A = this chain, B = another copy of it.
Amino acid sequence: MSDVTDLPLIGAAALRARSAARVLRTLPTDVKDAALAAMADALVARSDEVLAANAADIEAAAAAGTPDSILDRLRLDAGRVAGVAAALRELVALPDPVGDVVRGSRLPNGLQLRQVRVPLGVVGIVYEARPNVTVDAAGLCLKSGNAALLRGSASAFRTNTALVAILTETAEKSGLPAGSVELLPADRASVGELLNARGLVDVVIPRGGASLIERVVRESTVPVIETGVGNCHVYVDASADAAMAEAIVLNSKTHRVSVCNSAETLLVHRDVPFLPRLLGALAGAGVALHGDESARAAHEGVVPATDEDWATEYLSMDMAVRVVDDLPAALEHIARWGSGHSEAIVADSASAIADFTAGVDAAAVLVNASTRFTDGGEFGFGAEIGISTQKLHARGPLGLPELTSTTYVVTGSGHTR
Contacts and interface: CB of A to CB of B under 8 A. Distances in A.
B370 A248 contact: no
Contacts of A202: 391
A362 interface: yes
A366 B362 CA distance: 38
- Give the interface residue-count category, chain A: 35 or more
A373 interface: yes
A408 B241 contact: no
Interface string A214-235: 0001100101110000000000
A415 B373 contact: yes
A111 interface: yes
Given A255-B417, A373-B111, A368 B411 contact: yes
A147 B401 CA distance: 28
Q: Which of A26, A121, A410 has the most CB of B within 10 A?
A: A410
A111 B369 contact: yes
A337 to B, nearest CB: 11
Interface stretch (A49-57, A180-188, A392-400): A392-400
Interface string A240-260: 010110011011000100000
B121 A407 contact: no
Interface in A372-397: 372-374, 378-380, 390-393, 395-397
Given A244-B414, A365-B408, A374-B410, A391 B121 contact: yes
A366 B410 contact: yes
A407 B365 contact: yes
A370 B223 contact: no
Interface string A89-132: 00000000000000001010001010100101100000000000
A110 B53 CA distance: 40
A406 interface: yes
Given A121-B361, A370-B415, A395 B405 contact: yes
B379 A107 contact: yes
A159 B357 CA distance: 41
A367 to B, nearest CB: 4
Nearest to A372: B417
Contacts of A250: 416
Closest 10 CB pairs of A and B: A369-B412, A251-B416, A391-B405, A393-B393, A244-B414, A369-B415, A364-B408, A367-B411, A392-B393, A372-B417
